[in-house]
Amino acid sequence: MLNPIFEKSKLDELFQVLSESKTILIFGHKNPDGDSIGSTLALYHYLGSKGINSQVIQPDGFPNFLKWMEGTDSILLFEKQPEEVTELIKKADVIFNLDYNEQSRVGKELGELLQQSDAVKVMIDHHQQPDDFAQFTFSDTTSCSTAQLVYEFIESNGDLPLINETIGNCIYTGILTDTGSFRFPSVTPKTHLIAADLISRGVVHSRIHEEIYDINTPERLKLLGYTLNNKLEVLPEINTAIISLTMKEMQDHKTQKGYTEGFVNTALSILGVTTAVFVKEDKHIVKISFRSKGDIPVNEFSKLHFGGGGHINAAGGASKLSVQETVDKIKKELPSFLAQLTK
């Protein structure tokens, strides 16, 4: 069944605009993940196959395990080429906003540039509470991933035959990484039908799983070992596990970008644990990742205490406190938050 958010008349209107546009930009969010890279590149390749040129821009760098995807070489990073990106935004006719629900999710400086631009804005996203900044808002907060939405965008436009291995790889990667390998409750029969269709169009799923998950270096495994051995706190009374890492600890373990990806899910895999938190020191800020099971809305907790958000079972936020103070704040605030949920 077609996803009703992609109304045919809206799509026709959008493609009319695209056909009259010279500069079309496709943005993903800060700290791009598999869905951000997968969905933006899938859209880029799809538009390309229809003779529409576009440019993918990401705020900053992305993990090595995503670099095998075709088109990653052509992605511009605002962090590396701010002048070039600023110029492109100034002359942009259309700006796609993928995998985020508010323009500030690309970072403060870049977010302001996007806000100032009078390009036609298009949002394709699955995060809760979408902001109202785009002329074309395609938001489905029940969807497992933006990559699935890009598939449905193509499907609704009658273009499934254009999906080849290249486009399929990008969509499959976005779905795979945003669903914890097809395990989260957000996965539906449609998600599996899409995966099946992508495989029939040339995607080699086993290769993608290897590219994404069999990427450990001895250093990463040692960092995980150190974290679990020394930095894991289980709070059985609130079914919560917390792990944390300071910049120094990560430097001592020769940590590279992406090394800590998935650590929070290891904490969530402990028997009986339904909320997991990972507190990580970044350059000027402490980043927090929340994961949960069932009806525990960690996005609300993150919004309430850490100016963050995300999904019910996967959210993030930031703190200006130290790592230890952030952990203490979570330990102080989480029990009452969880207690009021059961009332």
309 binds, among ligand 5GP, Mn ion, none (CB under 5 to 8 A by kind): ligand 5GP
Contact call for residue 297 and ligand 5GP (CB under 6 A): no
C-beta of 126: minimal distance to Mn ion in Å?
A: 6
Contact call for residue 52 and ligand 5GP (CB under 6 A): no
Residue 211 phi/psi, 5° resolution? Answer: -60, -35
Token pair listed for 332: 């102080």
**DSSP letter, residue 158:** T
C-beta of 164: minimal distance to ligand 5GP in Å?
A: 28
Contact 291, 311 (CB under 8 A): no
Among 289, 292, 313, 326, binds ligand 5GP (CB under 6 A): 289
Around Cβ 73, how many Cβ atoms within 10 Å?
Answer: 7
Of the pair 32, 168, the CB lying nearest Mn ion is at 32
Contact call for residue 309 and ligand 5GP (CB under 6 A): yes
Token pair listed for 292: 């949960």
C-beta of 106: minimal distance to Mn ion in Å?
A: 14
Of the pair 166, 173, the CB lying nearest Mn ion is at 173
Token pair listed for 318: 């930031």
How many helices and strands, by DSSP H and E, does the chain display? Answer: 13, 12
C-beta of 318: minimal distance to ligand 5GP in Å?
A: 5
Of the pair 107, 168, the CB lying nearest ligand 5GP is at 107
Of the pair 315, 330, the CB lying nearest ligand 5GP is at 315
Residues sharing a CB contact under 8 Å with residue 195, sequence separation 6 or more, in sequence order: 172, 175, 182, 205
Residue 335 phi/psi, 5° resolution? Answer: -55, -45
Return the closest-CA partner of residue 66 out of 173, 179, 178, 206. 173
Residues that bind ligand 5GP (CB under 6 A): 289, 308-311, 314-318
